[in-house]
């Protein structure tokens, strides 16, 4: 259960977000709104990446008072991920594996499912946008987080990757009880039709 109370964010005196109360039970959520409506800012706040006013709790763990415990339950993938160019994808996977104490068979399974084995040993500087995106999504799934936050998850992905992400979202939600919070400035993408029956769409009006 994710709960936001009196969450407010302003830049240079301009209020970007003002959410008096929002309670999300476990599930799959799609935040839809125009560019500049505050979607990415909201997701970064919930992921613990941006300071804010108010309180956020996940599974009764407070982001403000117990940030390390809170973040252990979060997986995050940015809309346009950037990685240190000198690191390989495997370097990053191993880093996440050690932090989240994940057994090797789970890592091997994710590498296979995301189809990154043909480039993960190379440096991130040589990755295409699609390769970088797939690595970012893989990292978000490591460790079976309680909540996986995906900002614009379908950008730069090919058709096969669309289907993969849809299937994985349903699989993790149904088998592990993982919740998903995603955003887009577009209408609900037909590539997520496999998961649409489980989706709850949050209109941008709820985040303004």
144, burial (CB in 10 Å: exposed 0-12, middle 13-18, buried 19+): middle
pTM of the complete model beyond 0.85? yes
Q: How many residues does the structure list for the chain?
A: 208
pLDDT, one tens digit for every residue, the chain (208 residues) = 899 999 999 988 888 889 999 999 999 898 877 777 788 899 999 999 999 999 999 999 999 999 999 999 999 999 899 999 999 999 999 999 999 999 999 999 999 999 999 999 999 999 999 999 999 999 999 999 999 999 988 788 887 787 888 889 889 998 889 999 988 765 655 455 454 545 566 654 444 4
Q: Which domain holds residue 165?
A: 2-207
Measured between alpha carbons, how far is residue 17 from residues 55, 90, 183, 194 in Å? 13, 37, 15, 31
How many independent structural domains does the chain possess? 1
Report the CATH number at residue 168.
3.40.50.300
């Amino acid at each position: 259960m994710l709960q936001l109370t009196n969450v407010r964010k302003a830049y240079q005196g301009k209020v970007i977000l003002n959410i008096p109360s929002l309670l999300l039970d476990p599930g799959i959520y799609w935040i839809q709104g125009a560019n500049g409506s505050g979607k990415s800012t909201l997701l970064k706040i919930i992921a613990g990446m941006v300071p804010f006013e108010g309180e956020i709790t996940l599974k009764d763990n407070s982001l403000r008072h117990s940030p390390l415990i809170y973040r252990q339950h979060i997986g995050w993938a940015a809309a346009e991920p950037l990685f240190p160019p000198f690191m390989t994808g495997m370097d990053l996977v191993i880093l996440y594996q050690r932090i989240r104490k994940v057994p090797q068979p789970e890592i091997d399974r994710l590498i296979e499912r995301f189809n990154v084995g043909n480039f993960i040993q190379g440096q991130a500087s040589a990755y295409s946008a699609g390769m970088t995106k797939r690595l970012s999504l893989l990292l978000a799934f490591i460790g079976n987080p309680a909540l996986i936050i995906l900002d614009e998850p379908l950008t730069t992905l090919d058709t096969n990757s669309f289907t993969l992400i849809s299937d994985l979202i349903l699989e993790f939600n149904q088998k592990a009880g993982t919740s998903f919070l995603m955003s887009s400035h577009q209408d609900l993408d037909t590539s997520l039709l496999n998961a649409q029956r489980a989706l709850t769409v949050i209109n941008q009006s709820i985040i303004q």
